[in-house]
Amino acid sequence: MTIHDWDAWNYRESTGVSDRQDDLTGFKVHAADGDIGRIDGATRDVGAGYVVVDTGPWIFGRKVMLPAGTVERVDWDEGSVYIDRRKDQIKDSPELGEDDVSDPAYRDRLGTYYGDTYDERNPL
């Protein structure tokens, strides 16, 4: 996948998120190379979807915001969300402050950061 194929703020059709009303809060979150925490909040807003993950002790209790486009799949039966980025890519993402969820400048930085991880020079 390249940045040209990636839609940062919308869930992929294959996740089934758009077709269900289930809340993702509390779901376990798995990066491509291991567990990273649990979903603390999520939105399905068209063109503005994201999940906020409480990383717990993995990165000292930091919360991270992941654009909906990073969600590769959801296992509704197991309560798990699978992110197609590595743990180090998530750990190095722009810091999420208290007011950043609704800040357009933060969302732009975050979208650019994750978009760059889909570039052929930065493969999974």
d(CA 110, CA 96): 9
Give domain status of residue 3, yes or no.
no
Provide the CA 88 distance to its chain's centre, in angstroms. Answer: 13
pLDDT at res. 2: 46
Question: What span, in angstroms and rounded, lies between the C-alpha atoms of 85 and 87?
Answer: 7
- Residue 124 inside a domain? The answer is no
- Taking the C-alpha atoms of residue 11 and residue 70, their distance in angstroms, rounded to an integer, is 8
Domain count, the chain: 1
Residue 80 lies in a domain: yes
pLDDT at 117: 86
How far does the chain reach from its first CA to its final CA, in angstroms? Answer: 9
What is the torsion angle, in degrees rounded to the nearest 10, for the CA atoms of residue 72, residue 9, residue 110 and residue 86? Answer: 0
Q: Which domain does 50 fall in, by range?
A: 13-117
- Residue 61 — pLDDT band, cuts 50, 70, 90? confident
Confidence at residue 124, expressed as pLDDT on a 0 to 100 scale:
56
In-domain check, residue 8: no
Domain assignment of residue 52, yes or no: yes
Q: What is the pLDDT of residues 74-113, one digit of tens each?
A: 999 999 999 999 999 999 999 899 889 889 999 999 999 9
Kindly state whether residue 44 falls inside one of the protein's structural domains. Answer: yes
All residues at 6 or more sequence positions from 3 whose CB lies less than 8 Å from its CB, including other chains: 115, 116, 118, 119
Is 5 contained in some domain? no
Residue 71 has pLDDT above 50, yes or no: yes
Q: What are phi and psi of 111, to 5 degrees?
A: -60, -40
CATH number at residue 91: 2.30.30.240
Query: How far from the centroid of its chain's Cα atoms is residue 114's Cα?
Result: 9
Is residue 7, in this structure, part of any structural domain at all?
Answer: no
